[in-house]
Amino acid sequence: MGIKQLWHRLGSPRWFFEMSRRWPLIFGGLALLLLLTGTLWGLAFAPADYQQGNSFRIMYIHVPTSLVAQSAYIVMGVAGFMLLVWRMKLADMVLSAIVPFGLSMTALSLFTGAVWGRPTWGAWWVWDARTTSMLVLLFLYFGLYALRQAIPRQETAGRACAVLALVGTINIPIIKYSVDWWLTLHQPASFTLTEAPSMPMIMWMPLLVNVLGVYCLFGANLLGRLRLEILKREHSTQWVQEVVTSGRL
């Protein structure tokens, strides 16, 4: 199937629903496997850090959640663009399906950061660059959530959120830069794909596994919510009624 054809088919929720039947299960299974492996490996088998001792192990949750929380917002920006330009129904659903996941991942990242900060920095909360920009990201997610709740008509709400997500996505680099400039107490990113890891391989590998796992979780969550959203929004169409009554979900 050519790209152009795929593009046109993405406009049809029905096609997407039927094609993606097994995907949440596949992604969910992969996520479970990877997260279990990575977490067990990281918590039980990776060696303790020579400076931070065992407290560094929370990194295996903290880093993946932070990464996926930021990626999720960027995905929303892309979906917002697609919705505004091509009026793609699916993009609107993506936009509404990501918010709860992004919100919870951002909150989890802030929480694990606080737990790590207590033994390491001696305080639950430190106003440094990265924690602050994560907090701002949390507020951005809240804003999107609140805007959608405030507008009664679904289609209007979707497009309004798309505008907000786009403006937010343009703003994220500026916010990040300004906050970085503001104060930097936090260590530089401990996980980048472009540079050789600064930690030993045995500590880095579980992190990689967990990062992949949390992205699979993102995929599973997004696809599951999308399929549910399709059923909800298209509930009056014949094909949805057939699917539901025949139990071929």
**Which residues form the interface with another protein (CB under 8 A)?**
84, 136, 139-140, 142-143, 146-147, 150-153, 156, 159-160, 163-164, 166-168, 170-171, 174-175, 177-179, 181-182
Reported in sequence order, the residue ranges of the chain that DSSP labels E, i.e. its strands, are: none
For the bound state, the minimum distance from the C-beta of residue 113 to another protein, rounded and expressed in Å, comes to 18
Based on DSSP, count helices (H) and strands (E) in the chain, helices before strands.
Answer: 9, 0
Written as six digits, the tokens of 236 are: 């009056």
Cα–chain center distance at 36:
19
Query: Considering beta carbons, is residue 66 or 132 the nearer one to another protein?
Result: 132
User: Under a CB-based contact definition with an 8 Å cutoff, are residues 92 and 226 in contact?
Assistant: no
Query: Considering beta carbons, is residue 160 or 212 the nearer one to another protein?
Result: 160
Neighbouring C-beta atoms of residue 196, cutoff 10 Å = 6
For the bound state, the minimum distance from the C-beta of residue 143 to another protein, rounded and expressed in Å, comes to 5
For the bound state, the minimum distance from the C-beta of residue 24 to another protein, rounded and expressed in Å, comes to 31
Query: Considering beta carbons, is residue 105 or 166 the nearer one to another protein?
Result: 166
For the bound state, the minimum distance from the C-beta of residue 140 to another protein, rounded and expressed in Å, comes to 5
Query: Considering beta carbons, is residue 92 or 214 the nearer one to another protein?
Result: 92
Query: Could you write out the DSSP letters of every residue in 160-182?
Result: HHHHHHHHHHHHHHHHHHHHHHH
Phi, psi for 190 (deg, rounded to 5): -90, -5
Nearest Cα residue to 116 out of 90, 102, 141, 134: 134
For the bound state, the minimum distance from the C-beta of residue 162 to another protein, rounded and expressed in Å, comes to 9
Query: Considering beta carbons, is residue 133 or 221 the nearer one to another protein?
Result: 133
